[in-house]
Amino acid sequence: MIDSEIALIRALQEQAAWLEAPMQFFSFLGQPEFYLLVVPLLYWCRDPRLGLRLGLLMGISSGINEALKVAFHLPRPYWVSPEVRALESYPSFGLPSAHAQGAVTFWGLIAATVRRRWFSAFAVALIFLIGASRVFLGVHYPADVVAGWVFGIAVLIAFFALEEPVGRRVAALPLSRQVLLAFAGSLALALASFAALASLGDWEVPASWAAGALERSGEPIHPLFLRDAVTASGLFFGFAAGAAAEHRRWSMCVLGTGPVRLLRYVFGITVTGVIWFGLGLLVPPDPVPAASLVQFLRAAAAGAWVSFGAPAVFARANPARGGA
């Protein structure tokens, strides 16, 4: 099975080299940075409820994905096969693909909200292309992508089933308990990955994986570092806690003309970038406990700015119209 998947990746890379640029583009559509561009756009300027749901769902899905990666602890193709070109690189384990799982949850939720056949077809095509890009770029086996789609569907179904009853109970709580619950949820997401890590016992990453990855990509791997788990945990806490506070204090910022909303978005996303990339400079490059703490704070700050900080600034800029 592995040999046939390696052969497929090799054939794609050798026979369709012209696809590298398009595949890099579709791969970007599954990166966290892409979601950090789109979720604020919806939350601030178009559909706050959908933006809120997407932000929470993506945090949950990312946390679950990282726990599954550690539980399976399987390599990426370019780690183990010299026949695969590392057109991208990533330090975490391979199965299930986070890009594939994230694409299903993100575009699946939007498609379920839009309820248009043409958009559903567009979403399915995009989900497929994002997953296919990861195979082409040598960072996932086809099985990794299929597993990502399957787990993404499972997470999406669970979200639809639990969203209304859980949301109703949370909304009835005082703000302090909502924030505490957001922190508990973020802690649970992180602990799932740490529990999976503990279950590995004294298992270590094979030296051949680390050497192969470094040789073919020039980048070291740290799949037991759990940086993505900490990121998902921080984003979920910041976004959920900020949304709870924003709901009680500030009007949603969807009113106003197109140019006004565009200016809001440009300002808000610029600050988001400053927080994300600026604080990223403070994260220690080595897998040490301090790096996890700084990464959590970085992600929480970005999430809180999107759900609370930016709407608060927009509302203060024009309080007479509730941020319009």
pLDDT at 130: 97
pLDDT at 324: 39
pLDDT at 255: 63
Other CB atoms within 10 A of residue 164 CB: 9
Comparing CA positions, the residue from 154, 138, 152 lying closest to residue 96 is: 152
Q: Are 271 and 310 in contact (CB under 8 A)?
A: yes
Question: Which positions of the chain have pLDDT values less than 50?
Answer: 249-251, 319-324
Other CB atoms within 10 A of residue 143 CB: 17
pLDDT at 76: 95
CA geometry: angle 119, 308, 262, nearest 5 deg: 55
pLDDT at 320: 47
User: At 127, which amino acid appears?
Assistant: I
User: How many domains does the chain divide into?
Assistant: 1
Give CA–CA dist 273/93, Å, rounded.
27
**Which range of residues forms the domain containing residue 256?**
2-321
